[in-house]
Chains A and B, each alone.
Chain A
Amino acid sequence: MRFRPLSRRTFLRGAGVAMGLPVLDAMAVRTAYGEKPVDRTRMVAINVGLGLHVPHMIPEKAGREFELPLYLKQLADLREKFTVLSGVSHPGVDGGHLAEKSFLTAATHPGSASFKNTISLDQFAAEKVGDQTRFASLALSLAGRGLAWSRSGVEVPSYTRPSEVFAALFLEGKPAEKRAQIQRLKDGQSVLDMVREKSKRMSQRLGAADRDKLDQFFTSVRDTETRLVKAEAWEHKPKPHVDVAPPKDINDSTDVIGRAELMYDMTYLALQTDSTRVVSFFKNGINAVPPINGVTQDYHNLSHHGKDPAKIKELAIIEGEQLRIFGEFLRKLQKADEGGVSLLDKTMVLLGSNLGNASSHNNSNLPVVFAGGGFRHGQHLAFDHDKNEPLANLFVTMLQRLGVETDTFATGTTTMRGIEA
Chain B
Amino acid sequence: MSPRHFLHQSKRVAVVAALAVSLCGVAAHADPFGKTFIQDHCSDCHADGMKKGGFTFDKLGTDLTDAETMRRWVLVHDRVAKGEMPPKKEPRPAKAEQAAFLASLTDTLTKADDAQREVVLRRLNRTEYENTIRDLLGVNVELKGMLPEEVSAHGFDNVGEALATSEALIQGYLEAADAAIDAALGPAKQPEHIALRYPLSKDATNAMFRQTDAGVVLFSTGYCPSTVRQLRIRHDEKLTYRVRIHARAFQSDTPVVMSVHAGDVIVHRRPFFLVGYWDLKPGDMNVVEFTVRLGKGDTLHPMPYGTIGRPKDANTYDGPGIEIGDVEVEGPLEAWPPPSRAALLGDVDPAKGTLDDAKRIVARLLPRAFRRDTKPDEVEPYAALMKAALDDGRPFLDAVRLGVKAVLVSPEFLFLDEPTRTKAAKASGAEIDDFAVASRLSYFLWSSMPDAALLDAARSGRLREPGAMAAQVERMLKDAKAAAFVENFVGQWLDQRNIDFTEPDKKLYPEFDEALKEAMLGETRAYFARMLREDRSVLEFIDSDWTVVNERLAQLYGIDGVTGTTLRVVDLPKDSLRGGVLTQASVLKVTANGTNTSPVLRGVWVLDNILGEPAPPPPPGIPAVEPDIRGATTLRQQLDQHRNSERCATCHAKIDPPGFALESFDPIGGYRTWYRSLGEGEKLDVYANEAARHAHVRVAYRKGLPVDCTGELPGSGPFEGIRDLKAMLMKQPDRITRCVTRKLMVYALGRGDGFSDRPEIERIVAANAAQGHGLRTLVHQIVESPTFRQP
Contact = CB atoms under 8 A, between A and B. Distances in A.
B146 interface: yes
A9 to B, nearest CB: 6
Interface in B399-421: 402, 405-406, 409-412, 414-415, 417
B453 interface: no
Contacts of A300: 502-503, 594
A58 to B, nearest CB: 17
Contact of B165 (A184, A220, A364): A220
B43 to A, nearest CB: 28
Nearest to A111: B617
A224 B170 contact: yes
9 contacts: A8-B178, A187-B389, A191-B402, A207-B9, A221-B170, A224-B170, A300-B502, A301-B595, A307-B629
A406 interface: no
A150 interface: yes
B7 to A, nearest CB: 10
A306 B162 contact: no
A213 B1 contact: no
Given A109-B617, A210-B120, A191 B165 contact: no
Contacts of A207: 1, 5-6, 9, 118
A306 B634 CA distance: 11
B335 to A, nearest CB: 28
A287 B120 CA distance: 38
Q: What is the predominant secondary structure among interface residues of chain B facing chain A? A: loop
Contacts of B629: 306-308
Given A208-B9, A216-B164, A360 B153 contact: no
B562 interface: no
A297 B504 CA distance: 11
Given A192-B170, A206-B1, A310-B678, A360 B595 contact: no
B267 A114 contact: no
A15 B384 CA distance: 29
A162 B271 CA distance: 17
B752 interface: yes
A195 B503 contact: no
- Quick one: which of A192, A195, A220, A304 has the most chain B CB within 10 A? A195
A115 interface: yes
A401 interface: no
A202 B412 contact: yes
Nearest to B624: A360
Interface of A: 8-9, 12-13, 92, 94, 97, 109, 112-117, 145, 150-157, 184, 187-188, 190-192, 194-195, 197-199, 202, 205-210, 213-214, 216-217, 220-221, 223-224, 227, 249, 251-253, 287-288, 297-298, 300-301, 304, 306-308, 310-311, 357, 359-362, 364, 386
A194 B381 CA distance: 7
B161 interface: yes
B623 A191 contact: no
A301 B594 contact: yes
A153 B151 contact: yes
B411 A197 contact: no
Interface residues of B, number: 80
Contact of A195 (B149, B267, B411): B411
B415 A205 contact: no
Interface in B696-739: none
| Top 7 closest pairs, chain A to chain B, by CB | A287-B503, A306-B629, A154-B166, A150-B166, A360-B626, A210-B121, A152-B164
Given A207-B6, A300-B594, A306-B630, A195 B121 contact: no
B537 interface: no
Interface in B1-51: 1-3, 5-6, 9
B409 A304 contact: no
Contact of B402 (A190, A220, A223, A224): A190
Contacts, number: 211
- Quick one: which of A9, A151, A213, A216 has the most chain B CB within 10 A? A213
B415 A194 contact: no
B170 A9 contact: no
Contacts of A94: 617
Contacts of A310: 678
Given A113-B153, A251-B267, A357 B626 contact: yes
Interface string B353-396: 00000000000000000000000000001101100110000000
Contacts of B503: 287-288, 298, 300-301
A195 B382 CA distance: 10
Contact of A308 (B175, B410, B614, B630): B630
A304 B3 contact: no
A4 B381 CA distance: 36
B165 A216 contact: yes
A109 B148 CA distance: 21
A190 B385 contact: yes
B627 interface: yes
B167 interface: yes
- Quick one: which of B166, B405, B614, B620 has the most chain A CB within 10 A? B166
B174 A191 contact: yes
B507 interface: yes
- Quick one: which of A13, A117, A157, A197 has the most chain B CB within 10 A? A157
A220 B595 CA distance: 43
Contact of B594 (A154, A217, A304): A304
Interface string B208-230: 00000000000000000000000
B154 interface: yes
Contacts of A307: 626, 628-630
B594 A205 contact: no
Contacts of A288: 503
B148 A155 contact: yes
B452 interface: no
Given A207-B5, A310-B678, A361-B624, A187 B405 contact: yes
Given A154-B166, A253-B268, A306-B628, 18 more contacts: A151-B166, A153-B164, A156-B148, A190-B385, A192-B174, A194-B382, A195-B411, A220-B169, A227-B171, A287-B502, A298-B503, A298-B505, A298-B594, A301-B502, A301-B595, A311-B678, A360-B623, A364-B623
